[in-house]
Amino acid sequence: MARIGVFICWCGENIARTVDVKRATEEVEQIPGVRFAIDYKYMCSDPGQTMVRDKIIAERLQGLVIASCSPHMHMKTFRAAAKAAGLNPYLVEMANIREHCSWVHQNREEATAKAVELIRLAVGKVIQDKPLDAIKVPLTKRALVIGAGVAGIQASLDIAEAGHEVVLVEREPSIGGKMAGLSETFPTLDCSQCILTPRMVETGQHPNIKLYTWSEIESVDGSVGNFTVTIRKKARYIDMSKCTGCGECWNKCPMSKTLNDFDYGLSKRKAIYLAFPQAVPARPVIDKNACTKLKTGKCGICAKVCAAGAINYEDQDEIVTEQVGAIVVATGYKLYSIGQEQDNEKYTGYGEYGYGKYPDVIDALQFERLSSASGPTGGEIRRPSDGAVPKSVVFIACVGSRDPAKGVSYCSKICCMYTAKHTMLYKHKVHEGTAHVFYMDIRAGGKNYDEFVRRAIEKDGAKYYRGRVSKITEENGKLIVRAADTLAGVPVTIEADMVVLASAMLPSTGATELAQKLKVGYDEYGFLSESHPKLRPVETNSAGVFICGACHGPKDIPEAVAQASAAAGKVQVMFARNELTRDPEIAKINEQNCAACYACVRTCPYNAIEKAEIRDRQGNLVKMTARVNPGLCMGCGTCVAVCPSKSADIDGFSESQIYEMIKNL
């Protein structure tokens, strides 16, 4: 007869409120094979675990059942306790009588009966458990960082400084992300480029960082510790090894009609261009949709003026593969598109604000460029339509945010702060001008944040009105902004020279497709999901994949940087070991029985089963078989379901165990 111990937890009131723990204990003791059953208020606490360890030794237990919460919560805890008492940790089973029972039922009688049944199942299973050993998997100590904005740069530098190689992939021609285009940053008003560009240069020159700009992730195979990443290096038409970044090519290029995306369309650029003056790498790229040579075969001026001979019109996309052990995703954000043209049918845009129709209605990132010293106006606030200095500027918060009818229901978190900053930047440059702000609530939680907003109002004289703007029209060169001051209870109409819309933050284009390649969850808006909102904020449910920055949700720079360092820290924790251990509950093929039909090879979602040969000592082929690669198998059980000869089984979750559980019901 087996010697099984059952430990029933009250979980404070969580279980004991609905399940009669005392009665359940008495009933469970009657189950054949159960040596004893015992209840305790908090089994996971230190005294609880001590009791488990003591009982294992005193009763010479062959297996134990912990009836408590979900195994997701405490399986590790109790396996560790068993191991400490000298019992194989895989001889521990949990009966989930909290999430699956007490939390979802009201009737005490029925809930108690169900708890007993759940424990009976677990006893049936644990009797059939066999001691297992954790699987050791080799680990590639290289990390991939996707996205080189401030979060990606921070994560890369942290990992590189710890002595590990980093592969940094950025789809734009330069690293730097959104932050490289900002003017000054709240709440200190320090210049964004002044603090970011040294970090960019450091990233570009770091011996441990391998930089792929103008590149995108094609596919990701493998699993934690051993990912194979395929990267598409888009044709740049520049030989990076020859180019010196002298600038002759883009100075001489005759095509200058393309809207500059770094200035969000506020300026024009050449067909061959440097993303921005501080770009890293400081190498140009040819826009194949704008270049006459690439479109019609005529021109070729850049190749003629290039002394280094670095121009290559025959350049093709190149596919490269990299082996890495961990992945950090830092793909960032984009702004909600305010105009009526939307790439997502969920959003309708704000026709009433006339964005796209009136040139002087701009979004917040465009205003950042207008007030940036490296921007299209050299840092002078001049409106796009006629270059005049606007004497009255209206700033509108919550455009697209907190608007389930037209945009997204969440708060974009940073708009209150940067709108206050915008009013300051404007007032510092246009002293006689007036800044009007329409807001719904001012959300300025953060160190020195509320003081910053008050400064905008009290010292710099920004006029704040609580109310949403309904419509913007144009009359005689003025933008007429119709709104209401809900605090005074009166309609307000303002004649403005320029309007700045604080548009909602959305995950950047392609984030969901990337998430699917990485098997990372995402929410209805496409923000990537963390594993646990409080305790595992940078981990994902895909082991070895970490997230940081605005790809996870709206976030300001300090938060994105903190999260990036946290993700880098998690990677370093992983890389501190020489190999990874994994739970051994994976598939096993009975190779003698296997008929080599390979139904499992075809259906395995992880490509973890391969065709293998069994040979005798002389090397003669005895038979063919399927074989599981323990490094790749995730224990999903698909092979068990499809195997016609019943040769596949899962260790620790075998078919005989499941039959035993059903029999015990």
348 interacts with another protein by CB under 8 A = no
For strands 92-96 and 63-68, give the pairing: parallel
The only residue of 106, 298, 307, 405 in contact with another protein, by rule CB under 8 A = 405
485 interacts with another protein by CB under 8 A = yes
Indicate if the alpha-carbon torsion angle 418, 565, 76, 545 is positive or negative.
positive
- Structure tokens, 423: 């009013």
The CB-of-343 to another protein minimum distance in angstroms stands at: 21
Q: Which is nearer to another protein, 358 or 598 (CB)?
A: 358
Q: Which is nearer to another protein, 194 or 488 (CB)?
A: 488
Q: Which is nearer to another protein, 1 or 490 (CB)?
A: 490
576 interacts with another protein by CB under 8 A = no
Q: Which is nearer to another protein, 484 or 551 (CB)?
A: 484
Contact 520, 542 (CB under 8 A): yes
H-helix or E-strand containing 416?
Answer: helix 415-429
308 interacts with another protein by CB under 8 A = no
Q: Which is nearer to another protein, 463 or 466 (CB)?
A: 466
482 interacts with another protein by CB under 8 A = yes
475 interacts with another protein by CB under 8 A = no
The CB-of-479 to another protein minimum distance in angstroms stands at: 15
One-letter amino acid identity for 656? S
Contact 549, 330 (CB under 8 A): yes
491 interacts with another protein by CB under 8 A = yes
Q: How many chain residues interact with another protein (CB under 8 A)?
A: 24
Return the closest-CA partner of residue 34 out of 130, 116, 132, 133: 116
CA distances from 604 to 336, 364, 618, 637, 638 (A): 40, 48, 32, 9, 7
CA distances from 387 to 360, 378, 390 (A): 10, 12, 9
**Binding segment (CB under 8 A) for another protein, from list 210-218, 362-370, 403-411, 513-521:** 403-411
The only residue of 91, 274, 362, 483 in contact with another protein, by rule CB under 8 A = 483
Q: Which is nearer to another protein, 348 or 645 (CB)?
A: 348
Site for another protein in 349-378 (CB under 8 A): 352
413 interacts with another protein by CB under 8 A = no
DSSP 104: T
387 interacts with another protein by CB under 8 A = no
Q: Which is nearer to another protein, 309 or 491 (CB)?
A: 491
Cα distance between residue 423 and residue 419, in whole Å: 6
468 interacts with another protein by CB under 8 A = yes
**Binding segment (CB under 8 A) for another protein, from list 129-137, 222-230, 486-494, 596-604:** 486-494
Q: How does 300-336 read in b/e, with b if 16+ C-beta sit within 10 Å? A: ebbbeebeeebbebebeeeeeebebbbbbbbbbbbbb
> Which residues does residue 67 pair with via DSSP β-bridges, in sequence order?
8, 95
Contact 225, 232 (CB under 8 A): no
- How large is the angle between the packed helices 21-28 and 108-127, nearest 10 degrees? 40
The CB-of-453 to another protein minimum distance in angstroms stands at: 19
**Binding segment (CB under 8 A) for another protein, from list 112-120, 234-242, 484-492, 589-597:** 484-492
Q: Which is nearer to another protein, 50 or 340 (CB)?
A: 340
The only residue of 46, 86, 343, 490 in contact with another protein, by rule CB under 8 A = 490
**Binding mask 437-466 vs another protein (x if CB under 8 A, - otherwise)?**
---x-------------------------x
Cα distance between residue 44 and residue 12, in whole Å: 11
First to last CA, the chain: 19
The CB-of-602 to another protein minimum distance in angstroms stands at: 49
Residue whose structure tokens are 């165990």: 657
Q: Which is nearer to another protein, 289 or 493 (CB)?
A: 493
The only residue of 86, 378, 404, 533 in contact with another protein, by rule CB under 8 A = 404
The CB-of-413 to another protein minimum distance in angstroms stands at: 17
398 interacts with another protein by CB under 8 A = yes
The only residue of 299, 381, 484, 650 in contact with another protein, by rule CB under 8 A = 484
The CB-of-483 to another protein minimum distance in angstroms stands at: 4
- Please, which residues have CB within 8 angstroms of residue 126's CB and are 6 or more apart in sequence? 4, 63, 64, 65, 91, 92, 93
21 interacts with another protein by CB under 8 A = no
Alpha-helical runs (H) found in 216-300: 248-252, 292-296
H-helix or E-strand containing 580?
Answer: strand 579-582
Return the closest-CA partner of residue 415 out of 338, 483, 529, 488: 338
469 interacts with another protein by CB under 8 A = yes
Cα distance between residue 259 and residue 282, in whole Å: 20
CB atoms near residue 533 (< 10 Å): 8
Site for another protein in 418-437 (CB under 8 A): none
What's CA 568's distance to the chain center, in Å?
Answer: 13
- Structure tokens, 381: 């606030």
HSE-up of residue 567 (Cα within 13 Å, Cβ side):
36
Contact 606, 633 (CB under 8 A): yes
Q: Which is nearer to another protein, 490 or 535 (CB)?
A: 490
The CB-of-642 to another protein minimum distance in angstroms stands at: 48
506 interacts with another protein by CB under 8 A = no
166 interacts with another protein by CB under 8 A = no
CA distances from 650 to 286, 628, 630 (A): 54, 11, 12
One-letter amino acid identity for 451? E
Q: Which is nearer to another protein, 83 or 482 (CB)?
A: 482
The CB-of-305 to another protein minimum distance in angstroms stands at: 54
- Structure tokens, 352: 């009433």
495 interacts with another protein by CB under 8 A = no
470 interacts with another protein by CB under 8 A = yes
471 interacts with another protein by CB under 8 A = yes
The CB-of-473 to another protein minimum distance in angstroms stands at: 11
489 interacts with another protein by CB under 8 A = yes
Indicate if the alpha-carbon torsion angle 295, 296, 301, 306 is positive or negative.
positive
The CB-of-647 to another protein minimum distance in angstroms stands at: 58
Residues that bind another protein (CB under 8 A): 352, 398, 402-407, 440, 466-471, 482-486, 489-492
